[in-house]
Amino acid sequence: MDNKILEIFIPGPAGRLEAKYFKSKKNTSPIALVLQPHPQYGGTMNNKVVVDTFQTFMDNDFSVCRVNFRGVGKSDGEFDNGQGELADAAAALDWLERENFDNSQCWVSGFSFGSLIAMQLLMRRPEINRFIAISPQPNVYDFSFLSPCPTSGLVVYGKKDELVPVEYITELDKRLSAQKGIKVQFNMISDANHFFSKTSNALIKDLDKYIKKETALY
């Protein structure tokens, strides 16, 4: 079992949750939870952006977990409009923390719908000290609950995002940058669409750079 990605099942509020887990060999390694895009639009934990994010955390010596929300893949239950998915994410974070009780940092990340759930989880869990939101949709979901946003993080989005008009991202940036004591970095990838279809290398580079910078502080 030498540093492999394990398929695991986590007890969740609606039954078991299918997940993939990588355990760092490093003591007190940081931990990260990576959340999938919208289940009703074909989102799963094996989405390319989710897998790339997971791999980037892995390459930076994190113990990291990605999870299928209820009703997706081999996870029990059915879609619950975000409420249940937030409870699933909380259960996955509980599990990850129990497995890594000596972690040095706690990160949460999500892609598209997953970034909404990640940010909602962030508001409820004071131990989360960094976040990465990829392609959030403030035109679809109300992000006003982020006031104040409790911690610093990274938002990555594509200039050619066909689902999110750029002014919504600009508005979110303006609101978060007005908050004292935290720094939310907004990175725009110029040729990227919502799914980073042909720009995954640029996305990975951005994630890697931010993760390295923020873990070096610890």
**Can you give the CATH number for the domain in which 194 is found?**
3.40.50.1820
Q: Say whether 20 sits in a helix, a strand or coil.
A: strand
pLDDT per residue as tens digits for the range 70-90: 999 999 999 999 999 999 999
pLDDT per residue as tens digits for the range 165-199: 999 999 999 999 999 999 999 999 999 999 999 99
pLDDT per residue as tens digits for the range 2-29: 569 999 999 999 999 999 999 999 999 9
pLDDT-based confidence at residue 1 (cuts at 50, 70, 90): very low
- Token readout for 169 is 């991202």
- CB-CB contact of 47 with 37 (8 Å): yes
pLDDT at site 2: 53
- Token readout for 60 is 């930076």
* Centroid of chain to Cα 62: 14
Sequence-distant (6+) residues with CB within 8 A of 196 are: 48, 49, 134, 135, 158, 189, 202, 203
User: What range defines the domain where residue 209 resides?
Assistant: 5-215
CA distance 186 to 206: 11
pLDDT at site 20: 98
- Token readout for 147 is 């006031």
Whether pTM > 0.95 for this model: the answer is yes
Q: How many domains does the chain have?
A: 1
